Amino acid sequence: MRIGVLTAGGDAPGLNAAIRSIGIMAFRDGHELIGIENGWAGLANDFAGRDLTPNDLSGIVGQGGTLLGTARYDLDSPEGGRLHVLKAIDEHLDVLVAIGGDGTQRISYWLAECGAPVVGVPKTLDNDLIGTDYCIGFDTAVSIVAESLDRLYTTAASHHRVMIVETMGRATGWVAAMGGLAGGADLIVIPEFPMTMDEIIAHLVKRRTSRSAFSIVVVAEGINLGTVGGVESSEITSGGIGGVRLATRGVGHFVASKIDEYGGFEVRTTVLGHLQRGGSPTAYDRIWATRVGACAYDAVVAGKYGVIPLVRGNDVTLEPLSTVATGQRHVPRELYELCSAFF
């Protein structure tokens, strides 16, 4: 069997562990593994697949990034991109395993609906894929945020400063909330539970008078600027985040500038950016990437297509791709309330 594998969208630590998991099992059973380069672009244009060997998979379980390369590729432009992908799968592969987040899995679902043999694997450090408790890359991102807060804590305390830390996460606050919880943040501002600038400043004033002269405030990149006294881009106010690169909105620096304007605080900003995506995956990411990869492989050899392995509690279950094709997973109120108990 010619099993194709691709990684699409933003990279995330743990992708190589998933590719390795699928590949080692495929080689064990005498199948071929075709690595598609640069995500959907490798199928929508000239076929960019190469036969992987066991050597390619050796020593990569702990390597970040993706050995296949990835891309944010808009399959609807140029027109016909999706049809090229369908054709390429038909001509070159017996089955395709697509590792990616919500955008990728929406394409996987569409392909499966068209009758293509496709199996998904959940990846996104944003952790916002609906229907699964875990996505490849999330644990590493959270660990990096937590470690950064540990480091910022000592300098914040020494200088009695307010430290604003901007995290990734797109329209959801998983990375900010869980990273902030693990790193002892004094305030976490996320899209799901908006705070006004007055509320943020009131919290800092209260902390300064009753508890501590310094504060660490985690701000998710996807918060609405309007709620903190700024002007939001029309793409975001109209309900979507489209192709807007959220980091360019600079919410961390904006919140810091407003605190500065209020006066009485010395403020510094750290934008963690792509540090949250780079480097080695945590053991947790390696283990779960291996588990979801293995489950995807089992589906492939069983001829179960149009499915994706999802994590529910401590188990991996195979679900239809339709489960992840619409909607988004948000931070629930009870989890945010737990974070708030430590503010």
Q: Which stretch binds ligand F6P (CB under 6 A): 120-128, 193-201, 258-266, 333-341?
A: 120-128
Binding status of residue 277 toward ligand F6P by CB under 6 A: yes
Q: Which is nearer to ligand F6P, 37 or 126 (CB)?
A: 126
Is residue 133 annotated as part of the catalytic site, yes or no?
Answer: no
Residues 60-79 that bind ligand F6P (CB under 6 A): 72
Q: Which stretch binds ligand F6P (CB under 6 A): 49-57, 124-132, 177-185, 306-314?
A: 124-132
| H, E, C per residue of the chain | CEEEEEECCCCCCCHHHHHHHHHHHHHHCCCEEEEECCCCHHHHCCCCEEECCHHHHCCCCCCCCCCCCCCCCCCCCCCCHHHHHHHHHHHHCCEEEEEECHHHHHHHHHHHHCCCCEEEEEECCCCCCCCCCCCECHHHHHHHHHHHHHHHHHHHHHHCCEEEEEECCCCCCHHHHHHHHHHCCCEEEECCECCCHHHHHHHHHHHHHHCCCCEEEEEECCCCHHHHCCCCCHHHHCCCCCCCCHHHHCHHHHHHHHHHHHCCCCEEEEECHHHHCCCCCCHHHHHHHHHHHHHHHHHHHCCCCCEEEEEECCEEEEEECHHHHCCCCCCCHHHHHHHHCCC
Q: Which stretch binds ligand F6P (CB under 6 A): 13-21, 35-43, 152-160, 168-176?
A: 168-176
* Active-site pick, 11, 126, 128, 285: 126
Query: What's the closest the beta carbon of residue 4 comes to ligand F6P, in angstroms?
Result: 23
Binding status of residue 243 toward ligand F6P by CB under 6 A: no
Binding status of residue 236 toward ligand F6P by CB under 6 A: no
Query: What's the closest the beta carbon of residue 151 comes to ligand F6P, in angstroms?
Result: 21
Q: Which is nearer to ligand F6P, 5 or 246 (CB)?
A: 246
Binding status of residue 249 toward ligand F6P by CB under 6 A: no
* Residues annotated catalytic, as ranges: 126
